[in-house]
Amino acid sequence: MEANELISTVQSLEPAATLRDKVDRPAMSVPKESVPALMRRLRDEPALSFDMLCAHTAIDWHNENRIELVYQLYSTKHRHYLAVFVSLLRDMPVVTSVSDVWRIAEWQEREVYDMFGVLYRSHPDLRRILLDDDWKGFPLRKDYKDEFMLEAPK
Amino acid sequence: MSAITVTSLDERIRRSIGADGGASTTQEYFVNMGPQHPSTHGVLRLVLKLDGENVREVIPVLGYIHRGVEKMGEHLSYRQFVHLTDRLDYLSALANNWAVAKAVEKAANIETNERIETIRTIVAELQRIASHQLWWGVFGMDLGAFTPFLYGFRDREKISDILEETIGARLTMNYIQPGGVMFDIHPDFQRKVKEFLTYFRPKLEEYETLLTQNVIVQERMRGVGVLTAEKAVSMGATGPVLRASGVAHDLRRSEPYGVYAKAAFDVPVGRNGDCWDRYWVRIEEIRQSMRIIEQLIDNIPEGKHLVVKPAVRTKVPEGIHYSQVETARGIFGVMLVSDGKDVPYRIHVRTPNFNNLWTVTETAPGWRVADLVTIISSLDIVVPDIDR
Amino acid sequence: MVVSESNQVVAPPIQRGGFFSNLATGLKSLLKGMGITFHYFSRPSTVVTQQYPENRATLKMFDRYRMRLSLPHDENGFHKCTACTICEQACPNSSIRIVSRKGAVTNKTELDRFIWRMDSCTFCNACVVACPFSCLKMSGDFECSVYDKSLLVFNLTRYAGPTSTVLMKVTDPQERAKMWEPRDVYSGPVPLRGTAVPGGGRTLGAPEPVKASAPVAAPTPAPATAPAASATALAVEEEGGKK
Amino acid sequence: MSSWEVKTIAQRAAEAMPESVLAGAGYVLLAVGFAAAFMALMGMALIYAERKVAAHFQCRLGPMRVGPHGIFQTVADTIKLLFKEDIVPSQSDKLLHLFAPYLSMMATLLALLVLPMSPVVQIADMNIGVLYVTAVTGFGVLGVLLAGWSSNNKWSLLGAMRAGAQIISYEVSATMALLVVVMFSGSMQLSKIVESQAEGWWIWRAPVIGLVSFVIFLIASLAEISRTPFDLPEGESELTAGFHTEYSGLRFAMFFLAEFINMFIVAGMAATLFLGGWMPFHIGGFDTFNSVMDLLPPGAWFSLKSGLVVFLIMWFRWTFPRLRVDQLMKLEWKILLPIGFVNLFAAAASVVFGWYFFPIR
């Protein structure tokens, strides 16, 4: 499916979805409330059938006080990509898990929790994945500091 | 809004034991497979719930070799970041380098020439063969046959030598740079690659006789650890693992990069998604890679090997840039978030092994400990790639 | 869900027959495998082992092999480094530290010490590629094991002073000798970029208290033919002597 | 040789015993000393051979540093093992943990006593030799089981349980194969079995039947001594080291030695029962040929034959992967045992009707 067509299809599914610019593949910003329902539609809609969650990660926009989640979707059937962006408040990043839509989301969400502290509602097993269970802080946040860190090189 | 609880590994194991604290399940017990275990290929830890020899549940525990590559990347220039990707999936170092180079080139509008792309394709395919050779040897060893390991390494050595002559390193190559390759190919490169291909073809037949056709190996793999196509896709598996499940998703074919569009090759796919299919797909991929190299090796066009001066710090325009390549283990993806500087604002690497590993939680339960070893080995896991 | 498109090959299923045919094919496959291993057993010429320390005389590394960074000195014992610090900036893990000084005669910035930390180097070759004067080289000398990590800090230059081009312009040997002074093996602490290594109170460039374990004497910039840098840790020097 | 009566040490001990207990005990000590020394030396030689053979199967050189072609490598390793710390896990069953290696070693030693290595080198020649060997080799599983249990390690226990199931199952087939030879030769005494092969070895003298039972015996014994492809109790890639995971130093060396001597015993038994033991290669009727063959002493013939079987066992090890537990059981109960039974019936028929080459005169 062409990029424009793809975007308009997504917008027909979720009117609140807006185009996310400065991304080099079709990308939509959606409100966080619509996440699990929209994701399920994206997967099940025959014209879209995004059956694979390639990667799920987050970007910490420290200055704007928000964390932006990125869901990179791929359809093995139609061979097209879509990136879905969800903005969360940096102080209380809570979103509903999509682990029942794509199995792999369970672990990718754990990683995002581990690195950014994003909390996932109705996640079956939310715990740290790469760091120890008792680790303090979320390392990929821009303001993360610990005693092992060296100063950034000039 | 209900409270979201964050649990711990102990909690997870307690849940696995059951609400009654294991009183009703005296048969079952937990063992740690790893972090130090001969067949977890590094420092991977699997908490196994066993019933005798039968695996009931697999809980992978990660992070023993987490180095924070993404955090480090936020302080390194794009060119410097390349050398960190060597250390993710060290058996596909060139493909990983390529992913970063591709992302930067696309973002910064750097036009590479045909020569660069051909060299990149050839070395990446050579390394794919080397990676599969190593995997073949290790797979044999995981099944209990030690000799294939040495044979695999013996033949991998030939490729290592070829790459070493051109690149100067055997494992952490840091060869494919944004805007070209670090060195031009060595004058002997083409001759040696052709020599290798003639050397290796009969050896591959030996591989087939030694393991593929061996009745014990076949029985160990047949029907073991079946991963259906739906599950493989839902679990985000890529590479040979996905293709063995019958989904012919190969980036080299679906979105050709480099000069893959010029080369004729077949995509091997499996039937059932069992260990046999995963094994066969990899062996066949060696053949296809040799085909690709054969077609390209005599047709390396003339040109410069580097189009951007290496001393220049490449600035990438603001925005989010993706690139993906097909490594020996699956799709390696890079997401660059740039704020216009020469250092990424955020860099995310999507590593194939992270997703591939989790299929083991689906395929292993119900099989025996010995089969779990086969399944892990058939996934061809490189642990630093999982932990990043 | 076998997608059958063109240009695809599908895995063959494993064929199985009755009891006796399985037995026969199974035994045959096992015997064939034994044939292969015996093929190699009976041919000692297929042995690929290299007897490493014994074969030093014949062991040749490839020209591009990346190990020990070196700052090649020419036949007069002078290098081409201008202390521009591009390599320092190119280094991803801050393994290079360029200490420059104001030249005594020229009054221009020139190299005082080229400090390279092998303990944090990843041999990524970024410095060599980045050097605009091509004055760096990764040499093939790979026998660098030492017992003390502090011996892995090298000073690659043999003298503090300007580049060979500048020096060779001065024809009078007396005048030339004023422009450079010998530099020896460095054994002090090395600050990482932006932060100091804890425990080291000394600063770079200041005279170092010589450690007992560290090599003291340094070769003077005599006309050397070997391109390797002077700064060689003692243990390595001895190893090299045996070759 | 005529002046010196051929007697085994056990016979001498039995003769000396009524007159002087001390002399009898001296013979017993001599026997044990001989067996123990033989074990140690043979163990070292076998380990060296294994490493070299493995290396050349794998395009390697193997040990090359200690002595010419590394022949003193095992000596060095032995010294190292002797001086290594003997670690006993704190939560283990200490008594059993210490005792288990001896049990394993003892079974090996006992089996070694009856092996006829030449007409003069045999410590005891029992009239129930075959039965005795079957009995004492089965005894070895106890050591393995105890080692696995007492280590208080789940991997060890898994290995021990595998070993228990495996050794007990495969003993059935091994015995079945032995019975064929017992039937042919009409005796359980090992020296008599060897003598019965003067005209030709059982492996080819009884067409097909001998060969089949040889193969069955070899496979079943491999499983009994847990060598690849049946090395499940140790299964390095699965159980790290199986039942001896928690052993170190001398005690580990004992398991190691027992394993290698067991291999020799299997080879020796196979040579004795199927390949004519110390008998030179004879073909009934060809006297010139036979006298040429006689030039080699019996001890050399035995070494040659058992060496050949040892090489075969190593060859298997360095070619084949390992079976899975259920496949192992399937191989025994569904393949080897039925074939063994049919073979046994065929052997009975051939004994009754004299269907073999060069019938016993």
C37 touches chain B (CB under 8 A): yes
Query: In total, how many domains does chain A have?
Result: 1
D281 closest CA partner among D203, D228, D360: D203
pLDDT surpasses 60 at C2: no
Q: For chains B and C, what is the number of CB pairs under 8 angstroms?
A: 127
**Which pLDDT belongs to residue D3?**
45
Distance CA C143, CA C124 (A): 18
pLDDT surpasses 80 at C176: no
Question: Looking at chain D, which subunits does it touch, using at least 3 CB pairs closer than 8 Å as the criterion?
Answer: B, C
Assigned domain for A15 exists: yes
Closest-CA residue of chain C to A152: C194
Q: Quick check: A133 and B70 CB within 8 A?
A: no
pLDDT surpasses 80 at D332: yes
Residue type, B268: P
D151-167 CB burial, b ≥16 within 10 A, e <16: bebbbbbbbbbbbbbbb
Of B167, B253, B271, the CB nearest to C10: B271
Integer-rounded Cα Rg, in Å, for chain A is: 16
Chain B: give the shortest CA distance to residue D315, in Å: 11
A50 closest CA partner among A26, A29, A32, A67: A26
Interface of C with B in 158-217 (CB under 8 A): none
Q: Which residue has the tokens 């992270």?
A: B354
Closest-CA residue of chain B to D318: B147
CATH 3.30.70 corresponds to the domain C69-191+218-242: yes
Assigned domain for A42 exists: yes
CATH ID of B103-312+354-387, from 1.10.3720.10, 1.10.645.10, 3.40.50.300, 3.30.565.10: 1.10.645.10
Kindly report, residue by residue over C106-156, the tens digit of the pLDDT. 777 888 878 888 878 888 888 888 888 888 888 877 787 877 776 777 778
Assigned domain for A102 exists: no
**Which pLDDT belongs to residue C195?**
41
Kindly report, residue by residue over D142-165, the tens digit of the pLDDT. 888 888 888 888 888 888 888 888
What region does B211 belong to: left with phi over 0, alpha with psi -120 to 50, or beta? alpha
Chain C: give the shortest CA distance to residue A151, in Å: 6
**Which pLDDT belongs to residue B370?**
86
User: Is the bond into D229 cis (omega within 30 degrees of 0)?
Assistant: yes
Looking at chain D, the whole-number percentage of residues with pLDDT higher than 70 is 93
pLDDT band at D187 (very low <50, low <70, confident <90, very high): confident
The predicted model gives A115-136 an average pLDDT of 86
Q: Which residue has the tokens 């369970």?
A: A106
Q: For chains C and D, what is the number of CB pairs under 8 angstroms?
A: 37
Strand-pairing partners, residue A74, are A52, A81
pLDDT surpasses 80 at A128: yes
CATH of residue A24:
3.30.460.80
pLDDT band at A152 (very low <50, low <70, confident <90, very high): low
pLDDT surpasses 80 at D292: no
pLDDT surpasses 60 at D209: yes
Q: Quick check: B268 and C11 CB within 8 A?
A: yes
Q: Quick check: D229 and B216 CB within 8 A?
A: yes
Q: Quick check: C8 and B248 CB within 8 A?
A: yes
State the ipTM, two decimals: 0.81
D156 contacts in B (CB within 8 Å)? none
Q: How does the average pLDDT of chain B come out, rounded? A: 86
C94 contacts in A (CB within 8 Å)? 153
Closest-CA residue of chain B to A114: B6
Distance CA B330, CA B353 (A): 8
Q: What is the DSSP letter of C46?
A: G
B209 touches chain C (CB under 8 A): yes
**HSE of C163 in the Cβ direction (CA atoms, 13 Å)?**
13
Least confident of B251-255, B309-313, C1-5, D22-26: C1-5
Best of B67, B83, B291, B292 to disrupt the C interface (most C CBs within 10 Å) is B83
pLDDT surpasses 70 at B75: yes
Of B53, B143, B154, the CB nearest to D59: B154
Give whole-number Cα distances, A117 to B31, B291, C162, in Å.
Answer: 30, 47, 53
Q: At A19, which helix (H) or strand (E)? A: strand A18-19
Q: Quick check: D321 and B144 CB within 8 A?
A: yes
The predicted model gives B105-110 an average pLDDT of 85
C41 touches chain D (CB under 8 A): yes
Distance CA D218, CA D173 (A): 10
Angle of CA points D250, D254, D256, to nearest 5°: 110
Chain B: give the shortest CA distance to residue D86, in Å: 22
Q: How does the average pLDDT of chain C come out, rounded? A: 70
pLDDT surpasses 70 at C203: no
A86 touches chain B (CB under 8 A): no
pLDDT band at A138 (very low <50, low <70, confident <90, very high): confident
Question: Looking at chain B, which subunits does it touch, using at least 3 CB pairs closer than 8 Å as the criterion?
Answer: A, C, D
Distance CA B333, CA B102 (A): 10
**Which pLDDT belongs to residue B198?**
92
Write down the number of H helices and E strands in chain B.
15, 9
A79 touches chain B (CB under 8 A): yes
Q: At B138, which helix (H) or strand (E)? A: helix B114-142
Instruction: Give the number of other Cβ atoms within 10 Å of residue A138's Cβ.
Output: 21
Looking at chain C, the whole-number percentage of residues with pLDDT higher than 90 is 0
Q: For chains A and B, what is the number of CB pairs under 8 angstroms?
A: 119
Best of B14, B62, B70, B267 to disrupt the A interface (most A CBs within 10 Å) is B62
Question: Looking at chain A, which subunits does it touch, using at least 3 CB pairs closer than 8 Å as the criterion?
Answer: B, C
Closest-CA residue of chain A to B10: A133
C66 touches chain B (CB under 8 A): yes
D239 contacts in B (CB within 8 Å)? 369
Interface of D with C in 58-77 (CB under 8 A): 58-61, 64
Kindly report, residue by residue over C47-87, the tens digit of the pLDDT. 888 888 888 888 888 888 888 888 888 877 788 888 888 88
Closest-CA residue of chain C to B97: C124
Assigned domain for A131 exists: no
Assigned domain for A128 exists: no
